[in-house]
Chain A
Amino acid sequence: MNTRWVGMVLGGLFGAVIIAGLYFPILKQRVKQTAKIQPQSEEAARRELTQSLTTNPTEARVKAKLFWASNAHDGSLAPVTIDLPLSNEPPLRAKQVLNTLLAGPADPELRTLPPDAVLLAFYLLPDGTGIADFSEAMASSIPSGIESEQRAVDSLTRTLAANVPQIIRLKILIHGQEVDTLAGHLDLTGAFLVNPRAAQAAIAPQPDALTLPSI
């Protein structure tokens, strides 16, 4: 490599350093602006999307009971009554109350579910099993621990029990998949009991079913 090439390479590098030095402050300013705007816009977009999908202005407003963490900060849950337009269709109604639960209480300290988690879908099987499919943030953003994970599931099951009596048990999926645990502790391979009375009634033998047909 002769001196002419060395000179050209060094010249090119010097030019690149000058351009980078001029552009860097502008780039830094743009990154700061984007960081400020992004969380707010994502959250707003998500809320708008879920609200538009699940609420209908013609639906009757009813007093829904939602379970968030209690002010005592002892790990227990406390009911909060909110006026909500709720559908009479159990799957849609479940979706509406769960989306409100995910949106969180007035005091963010009393949240039971991660703020960035989204309910992707809710199905209700004929046997009364509700299937709630959450985004991955439900598992990745929840504080890891037996207490916090159990409280999250309790807030879901108790809210459903209070507002959608047709749901007997709840199965939780993460992004359409069955997972072993919520965040390393709570078992998600089974279903959680929502309505124990209905579950017992479903197990009890029905007299009509045992009657043999007369010949």
Chain B
Amino acid sequence: MLLKVKNRDAKQPRWIVDNSFRYACFALFLVSAAFLTLSGRSSAQAPTTSPPASVAPQNANPQTPTTTYSDSRLPRPGLNIVVLDPAHGGTDTGARGTGGIRESEIVLQFALQVRRALEAQGFQVIQTRMANENPSFDDRSAMANAQVGAVFVSLHVASTGLPGTVRVYVNSDLPPSSGGREASGLIPWDRAQAPFLALSHKLGDFVQGNLSIRFRGSPGNAQAAAIRQLRTTAAPAIAVEISSVSVNDRADLDRMAPGVADAIARGVTDFRPSYVVAGVPGGSR
């Protein structure tokens, strides 16, 4: 019997829970939590089943994905996939405007329009998050690193900058290590972007060029910055930052979404013929 009822003075009934019942409840909670965690993890990684490039995790983080290479499962070479990353999410709201505008919400809405524009150009789009959740930097990079023939586009909204402008960033130079690849042919996880920097610049310039046509005041070329998200991404990778959460009316940002989406889609399409990486089996990723 798990629950006992004792009558005290025959007036006030008192409920007492057995210790065994408490232990049973706790055990049930642990089992449920473990099941939910495991099922959530497997569903979050579901889109990343394609054969990956060789990327070796260098840090000791046990959650850092380790990927292997399989020639037999290679899809057709060239650029087919765009990994779209609405930055922040969950408890990390990113930049916040005085009017209550949150970067994490805006980028998710922008991502929907960018996704549609890219799919219209024939690309397969994988999003690093679909709702208000916050995958780690490494988890987001892993989604791109697990693909063959992918580029990575991270979406941001700044808290500064001239409102109505958009800037594209690529990772600044990373310290060289055997030309970006180790003797084993593996790319160190913490410098995964190093071999792709030149391609990232090219992709960034294509996208920035299209953005500068639509948004006056935006620079003509991509700029370099030490962006944490891009450093561990083993694919041509850019961050697109829209200005800004400081606008008085959120509609000003919403109006920018179609132009941003179209410019990104056109920029990636313009970049497609350049997407050849030497040193990778097959000649292309």
Select one of B103, B157, B158, B226 contacting A186, CB under 8 A: B226
Residue in A74, A151, A187, A189 with the greatest tally of chain B CB atoms within 10 Å: A187
Would A146 and B158 count as touching, CB distance under 8 A?
yes
Counting chain B residues whose Cβ lies within 8 A of the other chain, the interface size class is: 20 to 34
- Given A145-B95, A185-B156, CB of A180 within 8 Å of CB of B228: yes
Would A74 and B162 count as touching, CB distance under 8 A?
yes
Residues from chain A with a CB closer than 8 A to the CB of B244 are: 145
Q: Which of B75-125 touch A at CB < 8 Å?
A: 87-88, 92, 94-96, 103
Would B94 and A144 count as touching, CB distance under 8 A?
yes
Select one of B96, B156, B231 contacting A187, CB under 8 A: B231
- Shortest distance between the CB of B217 and any CB in chain A (Å): 8
- Given A144-B94, A145-B244, CB of A150 within 8 Å of CB of B225: yes
- Given A146-B169, A147-B241, A180-B137, CB of A187 within 8 Å of CB of B227: yes
Would A73 and B158 count as touching, CB distance under 8 A?
no
Residues from chain B with a CB closer than 8 A to the CB of A151 are: 160
- Shortest distance between the CB of A68 and any CB in chain B (Å): 14
The complex places the Cα of A175 from the Cα of B33 at a distance, in Å, of 35
Q: Which of A50-91 touch B at CB < 8 Å?
A: 73-75
- Given A75-B160, A144-B103, A147-B241, CB of A184 within 8 Å of CB of B92: yes
- Shortest distance between the CB of B94 and any CB in chain A (Å): 6
- Given A144-B103, A184-B88, A187-B231, CB of A150 within 8 Å of CB of B160: no
- Given A184-B88, A184-B94, CB of A143 within 8 Å of CB of B228: no
Would B226 and A148 count as touching, CB distance under 8 A?
no
The complex places the Cα of A75 from the Cα of B87 at a distance, in Å, of 21
Would B175 and A190 count as touching, CB distance under 8 A?
yes
Report the number of A-B residue pairs with Cβ-Cβ less than 8 Å: 71
In the complex, what residue of chain B is closest to A144 when comparing beta carbons?
B95
Residue A192 is within 8 A (CB to CB) of chain B in the complex: yes
Residue B199 is within 8 A (CB to CB) of chain A in the complex: no
Give a binary string over B125-165; 1 marks a CB under 8 Å from any A CB, 0 the rest: 00000000000010000000000000000001111111000
The complex places the Cα of A147 from the Cα of B161 at a distance, in Å, of 7
- Shortest distance between the CB of A163 and any CB in chain B (Å): 22
Select one of B103, B161, B226, B241 contacting A190, CB under 8 A: B226
Give a binary string over B234-254; 1 marks a CB under 8 Å from any A CB, 0 the rest: 000001010110000000000
Would A145 and B226 count as touching, CB distance under 8 A?
no
User: What is the number of residues of chain A that contact chain B, defined by CB distance less than 8 Å?
Assistant: 22
Residues from chain B with a CB closer than 8 A to the CB of A190 are: 175, 226
- Shortest distance between the CB of A197 and any CB in chain B (Å): 15
Would A192 and B167 count as touching, CB distance under 8 A?
no
Residue A181 is within 8 A (CB to CB) of chain B in the complex: yes
Q: Which of A156-199 touch B at CB < 8 Å?
A: 180-181, 184-187, 189-190, 192
The complex places the Cα of A185 from the Cα of B157 at a distance, in Å, of 11
Residues from chain A with a CB closer than 8 A to the CB of B190 are: 189
In the complex, what residue of chain B is closest to A154 when comparing beta carbons?
B225
Residues from chain B with a CB closer than 8 A to the CB of A144 are: 94-96, 103, 159
The complex places the Cα of A73 from the Cα of B88 at a distance, in Å, of 26
- Shortest distance between the CB of B13 and any CB in chain A (Å): 21
- Shortest distance between the CB of A198 and any CB in chain B (Å): 16
The complex places the Cα of A187 from the Cα of B227 at a distance, in Å, of 5
The complex places the Cα of A149 from the Cα of B172 at a distance, in Å, of 14
Residues from chain B with a CB closer than 8 A to the CB of A184 are: 87-88, 92, 94
Residues from chain A with a CB closer than 8 A to the CB of B87 are: 184
- Shortest distance between the CB of A84 and any CB in chain B (Å): 28
Listed from nearest, the 6 A-B pairs whose CB atoms lie closest are: A145-B158, A187-B228, A143-B159, A144-B95, A150-B225, A187-B226
Extra inter-chain contacts (20) besides given A145-B95, A145-B156, A148-B160, CB under 8 Å: A143-B159, A145-B159, A145-B160, A145-B244, A146-B156, A147-B167, A147-B241, A147-B243, A148-B158, A150-B225, A151-B160, A181-B228, A184-B94, A185-B227, A185-B229, A186-B225, A187-B227, A187-B228, A190-B226, A192-B226
Q: Sample 24 A-B pairs with CB under 8 A, ordered by A number.
A: A73-B162, A143-B95, A143-B160, A144-B96, A145-B156, A146-B156, A146-B227, A147-B160, A148-B158, A148-B160, A149-B225, A153-B226, A180-B228, A181-B228, A184-B87, A185-B225, A185-B227, A185-B228, A185-B229, A186-B225, A186-B227, A186-B228, A187-B228, A189-B190
